[in-house]
Protein backbone atom coordinates (compact mmCIF):
# COMPACT_ATOMS: atom_id res chain seq x y z
CA UNK A 1 0.00 0.00 0.00
CA UNK A 2 1.14 3.54 -0.76
CA UNK A 3 -0.21 6.50 1.21
CA UNK A 4 -0.25 10.12 0.02
CA UNK A 5 -0.61 12.79 2.74
CA UNK A 6 -1.75 16.13 1.38
CA UNK A 7 -4.67 18.45 1.90
CA UNK A 8 -4.96 19.81 -1.65
CA UNK A 9 -2.68 18.07 -4.13
CA UNK A 10 -3.99 14.83 -5.55
CA UNK A 11 -1.84 11.68 -5.47
CA UNK A 12 0.61 10.90 -8.23
CA UNK A 13 -1.66 8.17 -9.57
CA UNK A 14 -4.52 5.93 -8.51
CA UNK A 15 -2.22 3.47 -6.74
CA UNK A 16 -1.87 5.89 -3.81
CA UNK A 17 -4.39 6.11 -0.95
CA UNK A 18 -5.07 9.81 -0.32
CA UNK A 19 -5.32 10.94 3.31
CA UNK A 20 -5.59 14.52 4.50
CA UNK A 21 -4.56 14.41 8.17
CA UNK A 22 -1.47 13.35 10.06
CA UNK A 23 -3.56 11.34 12.51
CA UNK A 24 -5.17 9.36 9.69
CA UNK A 25 -1.81 8.21 8.37
CA UNK A 26 -0.50 7.51 11.89
CA UNK A 27 -3.56 5.36 12.53
CA UNK A 28 -2.85 3.45 9.33
CA UNK A 29 0.82 3.00 10.22
CA UNK A 30 -0.27 1.70 13.64
CA UNK A 31 -2.45 -0.99 12.10
CA UNK A 32 -0.40 -4.20 11.86
CA UNK A 33 -2.83 -5.61 9.31
CA UNK A 34 -1.91 -2.98 6.72
CA UNK A 35 1.17 -3.52 4.59
CA UNK A 36 2.34 0.04 3.96
CA UNK A 37 5.32 0.09 1.65
CA UNK A 38 5.56 3.80 0.81
CA UNK A 39 4.33 7.14 2.07
CA UNK A 40 4.66 10.59 0.58
CA UNK A 41 4.29 13.53 2.94
CA UNK A 42 3.26 17.14 2.64
CA UNK A 43 3.93 19.25 5.72
CA UNK A 44 1.23 21.92 5.73
CA UNK A 45 -2.25 20.41 5.86
CA UNK A 46 -4.39 23.45 6.56
CA UNK A 47 -5.60 23.99 10.13
CA UNK A 48 -2.78 22.38 12.12
CA UNK A 49 -4.94 21.87 15.22
CA UNK A 50 -7.38 19.79 13.17
CA UNK A 51 -5.11 18.06 10.67
CA UNK A 52 -1.60 18.12 12.14
CA UNK A 53 1.37 18.18 9.78
CA UNK A 54 3.63 15.79 7.93
CA UNK A 55 6.47 16.19 10.43
CA UNK A 56 4.25 14.60 13.10
CA UNK A 57 4.11 11.45 10.98
CA UNK A 58 7.90 11.31 10.93
CA UNK A 59 8.01 11.80 14.70
CA UNK A 60 5.69 8.80 15.06
CA UNK A 61 7.91 6.67 12.79
CA UNK A 62 11.02 7.85 14.61
CA UNK A 63 9.55 6.83 17.96
CA UNK A 64 8.62 3.40 16.58
CA UNK A 65 12.14 2.84 15.22
CA UNK A 66 13.67 3.75 18.57
CA UNK A 67 11.27 1.67 20.68
CA UNK A 68 10.81 -1.40 18.45
CA UNK A 69 14.04 -2.76 17.00
CA UNK A 70 12.06 -4.96 14.59
CA UNK A 71 9.98 -2.10 13.13
CA UNK A 72 10.67 -1.60 9.44
CA UNK A 73 9.45 1.85 8.40
CA UNK A 74 7.95 2.36 4.97
CA UNK A 75 9.89 4.11 2.25
CA UNK A 76 9.27 7.83 2.77
CA UNK A 77 9.07 10.61 0.22
CA UNK A 78 8.63 14.27 1.11
CA UNK A 79 6.76 16.50 -1.31
CA UNK A 80 6.15 19.64 0.77
CA UNK A 81 6.59 23.06 -0.82
CA UNK A 82 7.57 24.51 2.58
CA UNK A 83 11.40 24.82 2.45
CA UNK A 84 11.93 25.16 6.21
CA UNK A 85 9.69 22.18 6.95
CA UNK A 86 11.43 20.22 4.18
CA UNK A 87 14.78 20.54 5.95
CA UNK A 88 13.28 19.56 9.31
CA UNK A 89 11.56 16.54 7.73
CA UNK A 90 14.72 15.46 5.89
CA UNK A 91 16.63 15.61 9.17
CA UNK A 92 14.05 13.39 10.89
CA UNK A 93 14.16 10.98 7.96
CA UNK A 94 17.96 10.75 8.18
CA UNK A 95 17.66 9.90 11.88
CA UNK A 96 15.02 7.25 11.16
CA UNK A 97 17.08 5.50 8.52
CA UNK A 98 20.29 5.62 10.56
CA UNK A 99 18.56 4.08 13.57
CA UNK A 100 16.88 1.45 11.41
CA UNK A 101 20.26 0.56 9.89
CA UNK A 102 21.82 0.30 13.37
CA UNK A 103 18.95 -1.93 14.53
CA UNK A 104 19.42 -4.19 11.52
CA UNK A 105 23.18 -4.49 12.16
CA UNK A 106 22.65 -5.37 15.82
CA UNK A 107 20.22 -8.16 14.97
CA UNK A 108 22.66 -9.92 12.62
Phi, psi (rounded to 5 degrees) for 11: -60, 160
pTM above 0.95, yes or no: no
- Alpha carbons 106 and 103: distance in angstroms, whole number: 5
Listed by start position, the domains of the chain span: 2-106
- Which one-letter DSSP state was computed for residue 13? S
Tens digit of each residue's pLDDT (9 = 90 or more) over 5-18 = 999 999 989 999 99
Coarse DSSP helix, strand, coil percentages of the chain, rounded to the nearest 5 percent: 45, 15, 35
Q: Percentage of the chain surpassing pLDDT 70? A: 98
Q: Which fold has domain 2-106?
A: Rossmann fold (3.40.50)
Amino acid sequence: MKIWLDDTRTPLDSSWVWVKSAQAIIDMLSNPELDIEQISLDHDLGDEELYGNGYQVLLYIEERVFTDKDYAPPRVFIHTANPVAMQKMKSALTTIYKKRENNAQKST
